[in-house]
Amino acid sequence: MNFKPGDAVELIDENLSGWVEDVSGSSLTIQTSDGFILQVESDEVIILENASLKVTEAELRQALKEKQPSKRKQVIAKRREKTIPAIEIDLHIEKLTRRVDRLDKYDILNLQIDTARHQLEKAIKNRNQRLVFIHGVGEGVLKQELRTLFSRYNQVAYEDADSTKYGFDAATAVHIYQKPIP
């Protein structure tokens, strides 16, 4: 038999079919319907007469193009929490009032706590998610009072703020969640 590339063939001894890729003498290179390449002798295969495996190169490219999944651009969702900067509230007394010399330590602490409470409630009302209260290092009294204040709110979580930006133990980061934390 005369074989030529593109002929549909079937192996006689096995249940495999495919088409002729290359002819060299009595040896044939066929590609099976599963996509495997086989070297067989021409007397081991028969031509399938009614199979229409004749496909032009343009049709083959079009079919491959349709079969390949379209390459969609992957959209990388950025976490909103990371992109919106935290609101910084400086609780140093010099930033809150001009009359520092007229206040004693108790009044200073009350002014700082009242300012923190007001800013926190304002942030909850405005649905802000991140705050940073800058309280300085000091003796730690203001920091402890702030943490007591924050623990009274169910939807608030707090932690030490970034020490590289605000200094070691000098600020507290607050995360406000829309749903209360269980």
Sort residue 53 into left (φ over 0), alpha (ψ -120 to 50) or beta.
alpha
Domain ranges of the chain: 8-67, 80-176
CATH class belonging to 8-67 = mainly beta
The answer to whether 133 and 150 have CB atoms below 8 angstroms apart is no
Joined together, the tokens standing for residue 75 give 């959209």
Cα separation, 161 vs 168, whole angstroms: 9
| Cβ neighbours around 32 below 10 Å, total | 16
Cα separation, 52 vs 60, whole angstroms: 14
CATH class belonging to 80-176 = alpha beta
From first to last of its 182 residues, what are the pLDDT tens digits of the chain? Answer: 688 888 888 888 888 888 889 888 888 898 888 888 888 888 888 888 765 555 666 777 777 777 776 666 666 655 555 567 888 888 888 888 888 888 888 888 888 889 889 988 988 888 888 888 888 787 878 888 888 888 888 888 888 887 788 778 888 888 888 776 65
